[in-house]
Structure 1
Amino acid sequence: MAEELGLRERKKRETRQRIADVAMGLFMLRGFDQTTVADIAEAADVSVNTVFNYFKTKEDLFFDRQDAAVQSLGRVVASRREGESVVDALRRDFYEALDERDWRYGIVNGADDFFEMVVESPSLRARMREMGELRKEYLAQVLAEETDADPDDPTPRVVAALVVALTHAISMEYLQRLRAGESHAAILPAVRTAVEQGFELLRSGIGDYPA
């Protein structure tokens, strides 16, 4: 029974990923607003109902990894090494993402195409703003739990806002230069410098929080 359930869950994950991959291919080809859920269902060889079983909205298809994106900063903080500050943990994770060419900070080849579609669609812009707020809320919740903060203590919310603003600023700097025609490889040294300077500025404000 356990093997059967495991196989069923794996097939569900595979179906979900296939639908998301097909959807992104169509979005890249036709544009987000010009692609319908029916188009995606037909291309993925599933019914429209099946698409909605996995994704509540078309925006969910575009941001198919939104849960991971919203929770990523909080998870880094919650799983940081013993004695490691928020600044050190997040800076280390940022560098690891760069080295691994991971998408979680938006600094990867092709990010400009993704961002261009967001810019062109009002509903995607709205969803991205919403995800930014959820990202702050989730990180603030983790910080409050990690420090056993009083509900009236604004520190976790303030720190979360600073962290999200910093990571967003670095990612946007990368995107702007990428869209201006610079190559990914040419921008990376400047990104690393921005990470170092940005997190040092953050440290000057919050120190080794949470000690």
Structure 2
Amino acid sequence: MLAVGLRDEKRRQTRRHIAEVATGLFLERGFAQVTIAEVARTAEVSVNTVYTYFPSKEDLVFYPEEASAQRMVQMVQDRAPGQSAAAAVLAALRGELRNGERMVGLTQGFGRFLEMVRAEPTLSVRLDAIGREMVEALGSVLAAETGAASGDPTPHLVASQLGWAQTELFREIGRRTRAGQPPGTVAEAALALLDTVESLLSPTLLTYATR
């Protein structure tokens, strides 16, 4: 078991290394101008190794560890007794901000990264698709948990509003990192934004699917 754990960790490290090298090249020269062969050469791995971890070039930008359609589902499934779906998502986002985690873009290059994604049609389409998949996945889980009737739009609408909250959070973080603000300042502003977002959500949504 120890050997399996070490092997899995080595694979995660290799995948992250390749993705970080690729992202650096994409930010420096543009997504379309960088080839898989260049990524492999710079990362000091073979082209086959790159494709083993990343079936497509777009996967180098949106790799599963940081671009999972199950992201909000996991937040909700991990919630404590007495906690609603919205409370779980907001608490998870606040925790990531306070811990300065990469998952919420608290890095100096995040603003440039978002600009690159939106400037490249294939990446922009992929980002929007991940967002839709995230909402659909959460809506399905909420429908199952609450026993919502077939055709009841409530679970999807709740998931959509939580997806909106996350999108607005990332937009604010991207804007501030692009302006050169340090991660600590960005995190404080993002936490304040979440407070505002929560104040705008209805009591029905804030208490929906309480465990």
Shorter-chain TM-score category? Answer: 0.7 to 0.9
Hey, what's the Cα distance between the residues in 1 that align with 2:12 and 2:185? 36
Match of 1:101 in 2: 100
Hey, what's the Cα distance between the residues in 1 that align with 2:29 and 2:95? 34
Hey, what's the Cα distance between the residues in 2 that align with 1:54 and 1:46? 11
Match of 2:86 in 1: 87
AA matched with 1:27: F
In the alignment, is residue 162 of structure 1 matched against residue 186 of structure 2? no
Contact in 2 for aligned 1:105/1:167 (Cα 8 Å): no
AA matched with 1:168: T
Contact in 2 for aligned 1:140/1:157 (Cα 8 Å): yes
Residue 192 (structure 1) shift: 2.2
Residue 90 (structure 1) shift: 1.8
Residue 138 (structure 1) shift: 1.5
Q: How many residues align?
A: 210
1:43-83 CA distance string (max 9 Å, x none): 22322222111111111011124665422211111110101
Residue 37 (structure 1) shift: 0.4
Where do residues 18-33 of structure 1 align in structure 2 (5 Å cutoff)? 18-33=17-32
Contact in 2 for aligned 1:87/1:203 (Cα 8 Å): no
Contact in 1 for aligned 2:66/2:103 (Cα 8 Å): no
1:110-136 CA distance string (max 9 Å, x none): 211211211221111111111111111
Match of 2:111 in 1: 112
In the superposition, relative to structure 1, how do residues 178 and 47 fare at CA in structure 2: closer, same or farther (>3 Å)?
closer
Tell me the C-alpha RMSD between the 2 structures.
2.3
AA matched with 2:194: V
Q: Which moved more, 1:49-58 or 1:181-190?
A: 181-190
SS at match of 1:63: coil
Hey, what's the Cα distance between the residues in 2 that align with 1:173 and 1:3? 42
**Normalised TM-score (structure 1):** 0.87
Larger relative contact order, structure 1 or 2 (CA cutoff 8 Å, min sep 6):
2
- Give the ranges of 4+ consecutive aligned residues of structure 1 lying more than 6 Å apart after TM superposition: none
Hey, what's the Cα distance between the residues in 2 that align with 1:48 and 1:5? 25
Contact in 2 for aligned 1:78/1:146 (Cα 8 Å): no
The runs of 5 or more residues in structure 1 that have no matched partner are none
**Normalised TM-score (structure 2):** 0.87
In the superposition, relative to structure 1, how do residues 67 and 189 fare at CA in structure 2: closer, same or farther (>3 Å)?
closer
The runs of 5 or more residues in structure 2 that have no matched partner are none
**What percent identity do the matched residue pairs reach?**
36
AA matched with 1:145: A
